Amino acid sequence: MKKIFAALIALIMVFAFIGCAKKEPKFYEANAVADALNLNLEFGEELEKSSAEVALAIYGIDSALCTNAAIYNGSGATADEIAVFNCVDDAATETVYQAAEARLQYLYEGYSSYGPDEVPKIEASSVIREGNTVILCICNNFDAVQKVADSAAE
- Looking at every residue in the chain, the average pLDDT score rounds to 89
SS3 51: coil
- What is the reported pLDDT for 154? 73
First to last CA, the chain: 46
C-beta atoms surrounding 32 within 10 Å: 16
| CA separation for the pair 39, 98 (Å, rounded) | 26
Residue 104 counted as domain residue: yes
Residue 13 counted as domain residue: no
* Cβ pair 60, 106 in contact under 8 A: no
The residues, ordered by sequence, that sit 6+ positions from 80 with a Cβ below 8 Å of its Cβ are 43, 44, 45, 47, 73, 74, 121, 138, 139
What are the average pLDDT values for consecutive 10-residue runs of the chain, which has 154 residues? 54 54 75 97 96 96 98 95 98 98 97 94 95 96 94 87
Number of domains within the chain:
1
Q: What is the DSSP letter of 25?
A: P
Residue 82 counted as domain residue: yes
Residue 9 counted as domain residue: no
Residue 18 counted as domain residue: no
Structural domain containing residue 131: 27-152
- What is the reported pLDDT for 17? 52
Report the alpha-carbon angle 37-84-64, nearest 5. Answer: 165
Residue 2 counted as domain residue: no
Element containing residue 71 per DSSP (H, E): strand 66-73
Rounded to two decimals, what is the model's pTM?
0.84
